[in-house]
């Protein structure tokens, strides 16, 4: 929240070997900021993908869906500033052309190239700029972290800063690295992944394992964040992993999944923190539900409520908004066992209000960038954590003028 002076950065040893990166400005953005990124694998890698469940789907999503999961990917090309969504057959042709040009320039099969786009919906790509840009970005590939950061910067749209994260995992004598980048600040209510994200690792995974661990990680991270309740036409996340005749065994895959989920949570939490106009992030843990799915549904509805979001904006400990939103979420709750704390302060206990210092709690909420709320809705085993941005006047102003 607020301006960011130093963009997040990864160290050189955070990056898994076997990948090269580039990010440039090719003129898609009127601002002149970077808008074309390329991630290339030195050898064919495993690729798993998850994509938007919106029925209105961008052309790059259609192409990536047709090419993943697979064990033969060599590159992912990404443009920002234009979503290539709702552009009909011309958009599909342009997405295909982007992969063809990358493939020809790098000397790899066309089906080994994936494409992502993000930006304004309903405008065809200026392919003259894209074509010239691909020629430049392909020759600028490097293994260094500066190149990774350049690629992470080039996928941004209304984001205030790049979003990156890294983890390492030691299994026996081997240490593997996982690094990821993502973008998103508005039109965020993922129902599969995030706006755009690429996560890469040198860990050897089978195609099936890669798809499975990605789905698990996404469910517990990107699918549990929201800025404005609006699922994009372009939501995509790609996991790239080393191809090997001896992939990780079942036990090792489980350990990898845990670390991948941690990384995805770190990336996902950066989205509402950078939400357009955001001042605070609501972290809502729901427990006591009948099952995890019910807990997630309750958390999603509460966090999406404009009344709850504006209370977080103003530092208003109006707990009735949270409790009542839980009651309309759908899953059954036990009001007599329902409890709520805000920043650790009990405000509702076993269906009864609790006396608390309203002024003190309000001041604490205003001062906190992360407003932690815990809501118990019964005595069941289901629990889930959800992250959402607040709702400010700046968000309304920004999005009322987005294309004008």
Strand-pair partners of 25: none
Cβ atoms of residues 49 and 239 within 8 Å? yes
Buried b (16+ CB within 10 A) or exposed e, 220-252: bbbbbbbbbbebbbbbbbbbbbbbeeebbeeeb
- Can you tell me which residue has the tokens 């090269």? 20
**How is residue 33 written in tokens?**
């900021």
The Cα–Cα gap between 219 and 65 comes to: 18
Quote the strand ranges of 135-227, DSSP E. 163-171, 174-183, 196-204, 225-226
**194 carries an active-site annotation:** yes
Report the C-alpha gap between 234 and 98 in whole angstroms. 16
Quick check: bond before 69 cis, omega within 30?
A: yes
Q: 3 phi and psi, to 5 degrees?
A: -75, 150
One DSSP character per residue, 222-244 reads GGGEESSS---SS-EEEEEEE--
The catalytically annotated residue of 68, 87, 158, 194 is: 194
Bridge partners of residue 23, in order along the sequence: 37
Tokens of 143: 């293994």
Positions marked active-site: 194
């Amino acid at each position: 929240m607020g301006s960011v002076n130093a963009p997040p950065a990864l160290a050189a040893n955070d990056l898994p070997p076997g990948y090269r990166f580039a990010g440039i400005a090719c003129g898609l953005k009127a601002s002149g900021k970077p808008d074309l990124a390329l991630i290339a694998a030195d050898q064919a890698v495993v690729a798993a993908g998850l994509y938007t469940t919106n029925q209105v789907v961008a052309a790059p999503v259609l192409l990536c869906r047709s090419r993943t999961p697979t064990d033969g990917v060599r590159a992912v090309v990404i443009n920002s500033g234009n979503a290539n969504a709702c552009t009909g057959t011309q958009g599909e042709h342009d997405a295909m052309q982007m992969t063809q040009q990358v493939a020809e320039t790098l000397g790899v099969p066309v089906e080994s190239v994936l494409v992502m786009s993000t930006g304004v919906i309903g405008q065809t790509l200026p392919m003259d700029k894209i074509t010239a840009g691909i020629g430049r970005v392909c020759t600028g590939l490097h293994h260094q972290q500066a190149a990774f950061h350049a690629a992470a910067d080039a996928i941004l749209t209304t984001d205030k800063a790049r979003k990156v994260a890294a983890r390492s995992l030691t299994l026996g004598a081997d240490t593997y690295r996982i690094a990821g980048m993502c973008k998103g600040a508005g039109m965020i209510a993922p129902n599969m992944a995030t706006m755009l994200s690429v996560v890469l690792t040198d860990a050897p995974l089978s195609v099936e394992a890669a798809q499975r661990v990605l789905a698990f990680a996404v469910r517990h991270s990107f699918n549990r964040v929201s800025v404005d309740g609006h699922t994009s036409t372009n939501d995509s996340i790609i996991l790239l992993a080393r191809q090997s005749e001896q992939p990780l065994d079942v036990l090792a895959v489980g350990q990898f999944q845990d670390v991948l989920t941690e990384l995805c949570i770190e990336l996902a939490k950066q989205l509402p923190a950078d939400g357009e106009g955001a001042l605070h992030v609501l972290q809502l843990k729901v427990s006591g539900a009948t099952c995890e799915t019910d807990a997630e549904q309750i958390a999603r509805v509460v966090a999406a409520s404009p009344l709850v979001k504006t209370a977080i904006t103003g530092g208003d400990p109006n707990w009735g908004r949270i409790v009542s939103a839980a009651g309309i979420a759908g899953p059954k709750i036990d009001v007599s066992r329902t409890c709520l704390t805000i920043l650790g302060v009990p405000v509702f206990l076993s269906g009864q209000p609790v006396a608390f210092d309203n002024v003190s709690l309000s001041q604490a909420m205003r001062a906190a960038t992360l407003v932690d709320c815990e809501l118990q809705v019964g005595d069941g085993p289901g629990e889930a954590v959800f992250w959402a941005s607040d709702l400010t006047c700046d968000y309304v102003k920004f999005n009322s003028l987005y294309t004008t």
